[in-house]
Structure 1
Amino acid sequence: MKVVSAPQIPDRVNFGILLILIAYLFFSLTDGTTKWLVLLGYPAFQLAFIRYSFQLAIGTTEISFRGFDKNEIKDHFWLLVIRGAMLASVTACVFYSLKYLTLSMYSAILFTVPIFVSLISGPILGERVGPWRWFAIFMGFVGVVIIVSPFNESFHWASFLVLFAAIAMAIYSIITRKLAAKVRPHVLQFFTGLVGALVFLPFAVWLWQPVTLKALMLMTWVGFASWAGHELLTRAHKHAEASVLMPYSYSFIIYMTILGFIFYDEVPDEFTILGALVIIISGLIIWYRERRLKFKAKKDGAT
């Protein structure tokens, strides 16, 4: 009798990796386009308001179809507010700093997020930080010092805004981790859009500049690309664990360097390249230690 082989099961992990690579491509296109608009003279707060208004519009549509449980918001209201405020502060710092920093420098500093997550996960989540993680944290800060060194010709005080954005992003990530099992993704997206739109509304009204049709199209693209990036990022984590996906997030630095070179004639100097490499290596050390500890915990649990 002829044996018929079973149909192959799609490789969910590889699909998750593909999704996160596309997600960070969207994020890089968002920031690359925002830099263009900021250089045209549009206020960062106006762009941020339009970005969150777009996300709120999509989130409202999505939540009207999928619905929500009042307890999702009621039981976690203040965490949702803080989470939204953290991401809004990230957006404000990033959009403002893009006017002054090269895309490669900005992206390298921003990706100190895993380092700050490891640093503050202990007091917030009760996670133990071992000697290897402390070494990686120290190493990451050395990378930042190299980039923002006064000897770096690309140095600008706006670098410190991106560093603050990285801290806020780390807090946002930790809160998201706490809420992931309790609040559905589309509710998180809606609440993020709502908080961001409300935060930036008064600033946008005060600083509003007339918008041309071309600029409006670019702003709409920024809103869509940002929403799509967050949506794909969420879906990627449904197909693969964060410990598997984390190294691929550094594709963002590659994307941003390429975009900076093509559209803005930006060539990263030796300080930015060296600092970025140190930050990436420190992040990969943290990733490796976390993955090893999770594997050990699973192995101990199985026995």
Structure 2
Amino acid sequence: MSIAMMLIAYLLFTMADTTNKWMTLLGYPALQIAFTRYAFQLVITSAEVSYRGIERREITENFWPLVLRGAALASATVANFFALKYLSLSMYSAIMFSAPIFVSLIAWPMLGERVGPWRWFAILAGFIGVLIIVRPFHHNFHWAAIFSLYGAIALAFYSLLTRKLVQKVRPHVMQFFAGAFGAVVLLPFAIWVWVPVEPEVWLMMFWVGFTSWFGHEFLTRAHKHSGASVLMPYSYSFILYMTLAGYLFFDELPDWYTALGAVVIIASGLVIWVREKRLKSSEANA
């Protein structure tokens, strides 16, 4: 069941990102799309919070970590929406899945997690995979890849902050706070760049907010039933979904550099996953 939830979550994220790319190509600013994504999330999570309730201490005792988490997610969203206009969905998704590599790198100073030689090797290989995809010194290099790379780094911080908060703050409260933070912070920027919205585009914006929220719900529930050590390999379904969506909707196919870099990143992530799984197993048996 948890594996099915994981696959559904990344299918929903693919739907959201595909719709985002479509709207940016229609000429809608990334800041406007990002604001409406969080505004719709805020509406949905407000209804959920009114039903499930919220404890004041969850916010007051964890306010600054929640702010940093919200800032990491909101800035990653804006950067990714900028990048989606110019990058193929396959390239974008491959760069985004360097996030687990950044998680392993940042977890050492941030959480004090031990990083052994195998994980250092995987981190280095993952960076090489990113360079293969981005090609910073190649004539085909596009500046939008930098935005996508920043999005991956910001999501790594978001993931680590979530890991720290999950034992103190309930998931629906974190979803509500992230929606509120993103909507409030992005509102003045959205007003500044606002473009009149056609009725059918409003539906697309609502769809992005809904699929993003629903995807996070499936992701959270999947991790409640199974640990990350079981679920992590299935997250790479996102690259397959995005490649298929890019071909079907935008006639995009990954070039050899993107395909090779994606393989290197996936292999690096799986090495990190195997080492973490063995470390947790040895700790459990100690």
- TM-score for the superposition, normalised by structure 1: 0.93
Give the distance between the partners of 2:139 and 2:17, measured in 1 at CA. Answer: 22
The alignment of Structure 1 onto Structure 2 pairs a total of residues equal to 286
CA contact (8 A) 1:152 1:271 kept: no
Three-state SS of the structure 2 residue aligned to 1:18 is helix
Give the residue type in structure 2 aligned to 1:250. Y
2:57 aligned with 1:62: no
Shift of 1:68: 1.2
Which residue in the other structure is 2:212 paired with? 226
Q: Is the contact between residue 147 and residue 155 of structure 1 (CA under 8 Å) also seen in structure 2?
A: no
What's the counterpart of residue 135 of structure 2? 149
Note the alpha carbon deviations across 1:114-162, whole angstroms, 9 max, x for none.
Answer: 1000001011111010000000000000001111115767531110111
Counterpart of 2:90?
104
What is the identity, as a one-letter code, of the residue corresponding to 1:36? W
Question: Which residue among 249, 257, 279 is the counterpart of 1:271?
Answer: 257
Q: CA deviation at 1:177?
A: 0.3
Give the residue type in structure 2 aligned to 1:109. I
Per the alignment, residue 200 of structure 1 pairs with 186
Q: Distance in 2 between matches of 1:260 and 1:88?
A: 24
Normalization by structure 2: what TM-score? 0.98
2: CA distance, partners of 1:164 / 1:79:
20
> Counterpart of 2:26 in structure 1: which amino acid?
L
Q: Which residue of structure 1 lines up, in the alignment, with residue 29 of structure 2?
A: 43
Task: Measure the CA separation in 2 of the matches of 1:32 and 1:241.
Answer: 28
Say which of 40, 55, 61 aligns to 1:75: 61
Structure 2 unaligned spans of 5+: none
Structure 1: unaligned runs, 5 residues or longer: 1-14
1:136 aligns with 2:122: yes
The answer to whether residue 236 in structure 2 is matched with residue 247 in structure 1 is no
Equivalents in 2 of 1:148, 1:62: separation in Å? 40
Cα separation, 2, equivalents of 1:110 and 1:155: 17
Aligned equivalent of 1:289, options 261, 275, 282: 275
Match of 2:163 in 1: 177
2:91 alignment partner AA: M
Are the aligned partners of 1:46 and 1:203 in contact in 2 as well (CA < 8 Å)? yes
Return the index of the structure with the highest Cα Rg.
1
Moved over 4 A (4+): 150-154
